[in-house]
């Protein structure tokens, strides 16, 4: 005779929901947003169906809708005009730059929206790299100084959290000290602590034209600063260093292929953990759904719930708006 039957707790949806361990809500989402110059402009991103580059006015409109759906945080990326790019990234701390004006516009229109601008030089670089290049090499410390100037500028514009995604060594400490010295003690740092050199970033880079340029004199990829995808223990080393330097939130990127890293970091730290459901993951689901190979809605909710189950506190995802609509039903 069987005394223990696990199926007793699966007999109905009501019973299953009563014992459910991981619950997905709109409070979990951060929506990445692409911004472009102009007015009343919207451009579709072919490799990311349903995602657009928008001018500031339409970005504000989108943020209002997101907030009404329960999505209370956005992550900002700029499509920078080629004539503003150089090897210093100085446009990144232009007080009247596209990023700064976008932050101001969103905070004016939706004050309660948490605005997390990306901190990296690749959209501003003529080389498409996250760092300043000298003699064919990425200069770590010079890049950190630039990232600190960028972070202070974004804080001045009204950013709630700055999100350095560059993977330079020591940049969290450099940014934290710069924010403190300039009086921005309440501005948080969400550090991309375990960001892997991944093949899943392709659609994102095409959206911003931020892929490394094909030049024999510079690195052809980002493997000298982003993590080797073969490694997991290294992720904990990166995480602990960023916490010591003053990070408030830890990011793991990409997402679904790296749930083991999310779970390992969750066991090791108490700080909030963010995970990035990246562009390639989004594109794969959309392509399969468009071909009838997957159920779009069910796959979205299942995959996002997996991040919560692994231990993430917040999910950066291009599905945020669509998932919020589904959950609100």
Q: Find the catalytic residue in 85, 107, 222, 253.
A: 253
Cα-only R_g, the chain: 20
Show the tokens assigned to 94. 């232009």
- For residue 42, say whether it is annotated as part of any ligand binding site: no
Cβ 53 vs Cβ 207: under 8 Å = yes
**If you ran DSSP here, which 8-state letter would residue 250 be given?**
E
User: What distance in Å separates the CA atoms of residue 187 and residue 246, rounded to the nearest whole number?
Assistant: 11
Q: Find the catalytic residue in 85, 195, 222, 308.
A: 195
User: What distance in Å separates the CA atoms of residue 78 and residue 317, rounded to the nearest whole number?
Assistant: 17
Establish whether 195 is a catalytic residue.
yes
Establish whether 222 is a catalytic residue.
no
Task: Return the axis-axis angle of helices 56-69 and 320-328, rounded to nearest 10°.
Answer: 30
- The CA distances from residue 117 to 72, 207, 217, 219, 237, in Å, are 14, 16, 30, 26, 25
Show the tokens assigned to 240. 């602990």
Show the tokens assigned to 42. 């919207």
User: What distance in Å separates the CA atoms of residue 136 and residue 126, rounded to the nearest whole number?
Assistant: 13
**Residues paired with 314 in a beta bridge:** 274
Helix and strand numbers (H, E) in the chain are 11, 12
Show the tokens assigned to 45. 């991103």
Annotated binding-site positions for Mg(2+): 238
Annotated binding site: 238
Q: What amino acid positions are annotated as catalytic residues?
A: 195, 253
């Amino acid at each position: 005779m069987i005394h223990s039957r696990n199926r007793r707790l699966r007999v109905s949806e009501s019973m299953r929901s009563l014992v459910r361990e991981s619950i997905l809500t709109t409070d979990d989402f951060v929506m990445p947003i692409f911004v472009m110059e102009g007015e009343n402009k919207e451009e579709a991103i072919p490799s990311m169906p349903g995602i657009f580059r928008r001018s500031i006015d339409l970005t504000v409109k989108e943020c209002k809708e997101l907030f009404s759906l329960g999505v209370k945080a956005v992550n900002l990326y700029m499509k920078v005009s080629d004539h503003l790019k150089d090897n210093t990234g100085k446009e990144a701390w232009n007080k009247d730059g596209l990023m700064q004006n976008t932050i101001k516009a969103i905070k004016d229109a939706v004050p309660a929206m948490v605005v997390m601008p990306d901190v990296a030089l690749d959209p501003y670089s003529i080389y498409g790299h996250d760092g300043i290049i000298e003699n064919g090499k990425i200069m770590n410390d010079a890049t950190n100084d630039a990232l600190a100037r960028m972070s202070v500028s974004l804080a001045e514009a009204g950013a709630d959290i700055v999100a350095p995604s560059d993977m330079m060594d020591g940049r969290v400490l450099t940014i934290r000290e710069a924010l403190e010295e300039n009086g921005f003690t309440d501005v948080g740092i969400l550090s991309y602590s375990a960001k892997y050199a991944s093949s899943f970033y392709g659609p994102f880079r095409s959206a911003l034209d931020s892929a490394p340029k094909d030049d024999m004199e510079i690195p052809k990829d980002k493997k000298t600063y982003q993590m080797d995808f073969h490694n997991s223990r290294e992720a904990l080393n990166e995480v602990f260093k960023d916490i010591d330097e003053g990070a408030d939130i830890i990011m793991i990127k990409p997402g679904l292929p790296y749930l083991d890293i999310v779970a390992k970091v969750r066991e090791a730290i108490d700080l909030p953990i963010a995970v990035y459901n990246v562009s390639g993951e989004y594109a794969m689901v959309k392509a399969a759904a468009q071909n009838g190979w997957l159920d779009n809605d069910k796959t979205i909710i299942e995959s996002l719930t997996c991040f919560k189950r692994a231990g993430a506190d917040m999910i950066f995802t291009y599905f945020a708006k669509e998932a919020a609509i589904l959950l609100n039903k």
